[in-house]
Amino acid sequence: MIIVMEHKASPQQVDAVATRLQQLGFDTHLSVGVERTIIGAIGEKRPGYVEMLSAMSGVERIVPILQPFKLAGRELHPEPTRVKVGNTTIGGEEIVVMAGPCAVEGEEQLLEVAREIKAAGAHILRGGAFKPRTSPYSFQGLEVEGLKLLALARQETGLPVVTEVTNPRDIELVAEYADMLQIGARNMQNFTLLREVGHSQKPILLKRGLAATVEEWLMAAEYIISGGNHNVVLCERGIRTYETGTRNTLDLSAIPAVKHYSHLPIIVDPSHGTGRWRYVTPMAKAAVAAGADGLMVEAHCRPEEALSDGAQSLTPANFRQLMVEIKAVAQAVGRKSGSLTVV
């Protein structure tokens, strides 16, 4: 529930209400606005609480939170959240682009593509060190060696790094090398993992599950936020439908839906969303036009040799062209293009 304080409520009155809520077993979240101060109370509602709290000095009214995602929703947190990754902020006016290979394959491969995307204007380097794959016989990633190579690429290019963590026991290890931790689509409802990254100090990129509804996706974010980590970025990466012409069906309608229900920033992965490199740029432009805060794009200098997802990876030349076209769309819809470079 939300306790709306009176316009002239004193700090002492606000503190008294917050203290009482905590005594009653609620977790409290304070939001101080220009006109009003509101206190979010998360916990089990019991008979008599509303009447008791309504009688306290400085309380104007009490409003129930209707959505199941209390902390991820806009009712308690009406202002958009901005998440900082290195020196880059996701959720502001600037369109943030994460790019890099699906999997880290070696030092030469990673540094080459990192230099290319940096030159084209990308903000964050993405690359998989731990690779959960459908087949146990597919390339599973370089693991710790891959993490070290990502850190090396960051040192050379200055790009912050996002990479996936797949196991709760590896969180501290991955956080040692990465600036942002990714929860992949297959782990969106791995609740043990979600709880553990909720205790991490690193920002989290939460991909939508293969067949998850928007509500289920936001409830997964709720697990992370309830653990104390409010720096969550959502990533739409396509969902499983009957369509076979593309790898997945990229649900662009999820962008305005998330913006309506949640304060969390949302980016789009058109690479996994389509599975075909020819479709990545058109869908990336559509995502920006629909209101996405950023993009995650797979890039590889030699996609035909890639150990993972070569068919959906852009060459450096195609990635540069994507950045040119994204710049135009961003400007057309009133977003800042930042470091997006016309090459």
User: What pLDDT is attached to residue 67?
Assistant: 87
pLDDT at 132 over 90: no
pLDDT at 338 over 80: no
User: What pLDDT is attached to residue 86?
Assistant: 95
Report the CATH number of the 83-332 domain: 3.20.20.70
User: What pLDDT is attached to residue 66?
Assistant: 81
pLDDT at 341 over 50: no
User: What pLDDT is attached to residue 305?
Assistant: 95
Q: What is the pLDDT averaged over residues 151-161?
A: 98
Q: What is the pLDDT averaged over residues 51-67?
A: 90
pLDDT in tens, 225-254: 999 999 999 999 999 999 999 999 999 999
User: What pLDDT is attached to residue 137?
Assistant: 66
Under the banding of pLDDT at 50, 70 and 90, the label for residue 61 is very high
For the chain, what is the radius of gyration of the CA atoms? Answer: 21
Under 8 Å between Cβ of 69 and 218? yes
Tell me the H-state helices in 204-338. Answer: 214-226, 254-261, 270-274, 277-290, 316-332
Q: What is the pLDDT averaged over residues 171-175?
A: 97
Return the structure tokens found at 308. Answer: 């993972």
Q: 2-63, which class in CATH?
A: alpha beta
Looking at per-residue pLDDT, the higher value among 216 and 43 belongs to 216
Residue environment code for 130-150, b if the CB has 16+ CB neighbours within 10 A, otherwise e? bbeeeeeeeebbbeeebbbbb
Q: Where are the domains of the chain?
A: 2-63, 83-332
Under the banding of pLDDT at 50, 70 and 90, the label for residue 343 is very low
Q: Is 322 helix (H, G, I), strand (E, B) or coil?
A: helix
Return the structure tokens found at 174. Answer: 């991955």
User: What pLDDT is attached to residue 156?
Assistant: 97
Residues in the chain: 343
pTM summary value: 0.90
